[in-house]
Amino acid sequence: MDFAFLYSTMKALLAATPTTIGLFSLSVFFGGLLALVIVTMRVSNNIIARNFAKGYIFVFRGSPLLIQMFLVFYGLGQFGVIRHSFVWPALREPFICAVLSLALCTAGYSAEIFRSGLRAVPPGEVEAARAAGMSGFLLLRRIIAPIALRHALPAYSTEIVLMVKSTALASLVTVWEITGVAQRLISQTYRTMEIFLCAAALYLLLNFIILQALSLLENRLNRHHRRPTERKPSVMNALFGARP
Amino acid sequence: MEIIELLGFGAKGWGALILTGMLLTLCVTLASLAIGALVGGLIATAKLSNFWWLRVLGTTYTTIFRGVPELLIIYLIYFGGSNAVTAIGHAMGIEGFLGMPSFLAGALAVGLISAAYQAEVYRGAYRAIPRGEIEAAASIGMPPLRCVRRIILPQILRFAIPGLNNVWQLSLKDSALISVTGLAELMRTTQVAAGSTRQYFMFYIVGGLLYLVLTSFSERLFNSAERRSNKSMPRGMGQV
């Protein structure tokens, strides 16, 4: 084992990690917001909005992310209208293009996940809330959203891990994140295995941290389903304020 | 009409090349499905085994291949495989760099990723088989291997169809990443056509539409297979 080489590889990859994290968090944030819009359209009574959302989900889930990213990065610049408009300084940046296409893609997947969460809300609870005089945003905030979120969270965690992996594609539109740097190092040194192991370890660590955070959140959201005797005092409870 | 000429089958048209690329995408994904079924079956068996080290091995495999970006795994197989081929070539007295065939590298890489997902599908399908059926087979004296062939495998295949549909869709989209090795599948052909005609937008839209044709057509195929395999079952929840 050549530890000096592993150390220098790890240092180069760690320097690229903030780019990966930036791509990931920005695209999950904007993708999540867009997914809320899409799912609202998908379950609305307006036939045009509903069909638009259906088409959006079909297109963005059915085609590879790489082709969507190239379409945004190379395709949009072809039109003079876009090149001479105010958005061009932003769309010229590969990082912004990558975030845009990642967010558009994850919005399609997340909208379906949120919809399955909505379908898990028992109609009786909505009716009861309406009978008690709740409607509109209050009903959404107090009854529908908490139940839907709880049901959608396991599937959404899977989607979030897929997003961590998808950020690797940004290297193909010249964003130097972990996979891009790893590829450059491989083609310079031809020491594929060592570099792969370093990059893989970084990605697994990232996924592990994100999954742990999400399962902690899931645990907290499902507090009321646990029996009081199951609540053992633990380090996690001490840290995050659950009383034994 | 310039666009029709570019997409047509004439001297300046890319139509034939793009359709060939689509066929190659289908072939490479089918090959990776087969590799994934073989490796995935072994991994699922390892994860269900009574030996703890086999379970650890299986879990490590699925964790790595589901948690690491597909692109990185393709680089590993392609560059790592090329290094190995070059080393073998040197041992046999052939000088210089030898590349790994990109079809083989791509099918292997996507296949190994698909194996990790398929292993989980098969494991879930095995769990769905009622224990009583396996016990009943043992109690009438059926040897284990015959029980696998007669009782377990047919039911695993039936329960696995919806999961395999998901894995197939994933692999179809992962196969676009093989374009980085230079294999002239749908993505790569679209890229070359877009670059050399400068009609990026049009060709990427066409490429995307062809992928949509592949995914939606195969989804229908899987749904009808699921209906067919459930003919003998009573209708229950979640059926198509």
- Taking phi first (over 0 means left), then psi (-120 to 50 degrees means alpha), and beta for anything else, what does residue A148 get? alpha
Report how far apart the first and last C-alpha atoms of chain A are (Å, whole number).
48
Contact A70 B83 (CB under 8 A): no
The 10s digit of each residue's pLDDT in B4-60 is 777 777 767 788 899 999 999 999 999 999 999 999 999 999 999 999 999 999 999
B181 close to B78: Cβ distance less than 8 angstroms = yes
Say how many CA atoms lie within 13 Å of B145 toward its Cβ. 0
The 10s digit of each residue's pLDDT in B172-189 is 999 999 999 989 999 999
Q: Is A121 an 8 Å CB contact of chain B?
A: no
Q: Residue B69: its chain A contacts at CB < 8 A?
A: 164-169, 179, 203
Domain containing residue B211? 8-229
Q: Is B216 an 8 Å CB contact of chain A?
A: yes
Contact B68 A199 (CB under 8 A): yes
Q: Is A67 an 8 Å CB contact of chain B?
A: yes
Contact B176 A67 (CB under 8 A): yes
Q: Is A172 an 8 Å CB contact of chain B?
A: yes
Topology classification of domain A3-240: MetI-like fold (1.10.3720)
Question: Residue B118: which CATH number?
Answer: 1.10.3720.10
Q: Is B3 an 8 Å CB contact of chain A?
A: no
Q: Is A207 an 8 Å CB contact of chain B?
A: yes
Does the pLDDT value for residue B240 go beyond 60? no
Predicted TM-score (pTM) of this structure: 0.87
A243 DSSP assignment: -
What type of residue is A225?
Answer: H
Rounded mean pLDDT of chain B? 89
Residue of A67, A119, A188, A198 to mutate, interface with B, max B Cβ within 10 Å: A67
Contact A66 B70 (CB under 8 A): no
Contact B211 A75 (CB under 8 A): no
For the CA atoms of A95, A99, A102, A107, the dihedral, rounded to the nearest 10 degrees, stands at: -170
Q: How many CB atoms lie within 10 A of CB B232?
A: 7
- Where does residue A62 rank: exposed (0-12), middle (13-18), buried (19+ CB within 10 A)? buried
Contact B180 A203 (CB under 8 A): no
Contact A64 B176 (CB under 8 A): yes
A24 close to A179: Cβ distance less than 8 angstroms = no
Query: How many angstroms separate the CA atoms of A137 and A110, rounded?
Result: 21
Query: How many angstroms separate the CA atoms of B66 and A84, rounded?
Result: 42
Say how many CA atoms lie within 13 Å of B47 toward its Cβ. 24
Distance between A196 CA and the closest CA of chain B, angstroms? 7
Q: Residue A109: its chain B contacts at CB < 8 A?
A: none
Query: How many angstroms separate the CA atoms of B67 and B120, rounded?
Result: 14
Task: Note the residue count of chain B.
Answer: 240
Provide the number of structural domains found in chain B.
1
The 10s digit of each residue's pLDDT in B71-93 is 999 999 998 888 888 888 888 88
The 10s digit of each residue's pLDDT in B55-71 is 999 999 999 999 999 99
Q: How many CB atoms lie within 10 A of CB A22?
A: 16
Residue ranges of B 46-65 with Cβ closer than 8 A to chain A: 63-64
pLDDT for A195 equals 92
Per-residue pLDDT of chain A (244 residues; tens, 9 = 90+): 688 899 999 999 999 999 999 999 999 999 999 999 999 999 999 999 999 999 999 999 999 999 999 999 998 888 878 788 888 888 888 999 999 999 999 999 999 999 999 998 999 999 999 999 988 889 999 999 999 999 999 999 999 999 999 999 999 999 999 999 999 999 898 888 899 999 999 999 999 999 999 999 988 888 887 766 555 555 555 555 544 3
Q: Who's near A35: CB < 8 A, 6+ residues apart?
A: A106, A107, A108, A110, A111, A113, A114
Query: How many angstroms separate the CA atoms of A27 and A86, rounded?
Result: 22
Query: How many angstroms separate the CA atoms of B147 and B137, rounded?
Result: 6
Query: How many angstroms separate the CA atoms of B16 and A81, rounded?
Result: 32
Partner residue facing B201 (CB), from A66, A78, A161: A78
Structure tokens given for A168: 């690797």
Query: How many angstroms separate the CA atoms of B238 and B234, rounded?
Result: 12
Q: Is B177 an 8 Å CB contact of chain A?
A: yes
Residue of B86, B90, B200, B222 to mutate, interface with A, max A Cβ within 10 Å: B200
Question: DSSP for B143-158?
Answer: -HHHHIIIIIHHHHHH
Contact B80 A196 (CB under 8 A): yes
* Listed range (A17-21, B95-99, B134-138, B150-154) with the worst mean pLDDT: B95-99
| CA-wise closest residue to A27 among A106, A141, A87 | A106
List helix spans (H) across chain B: 2-7, 15-48, 52-67, 70-91, 102-128, 131-139, 144-147, 153-174, 186-197, 200-229
Partner residue facing B208 (CB), from A71, A79, A171: A71
Q: Is B108 an 8 Å CB contact of chain A?
A: no
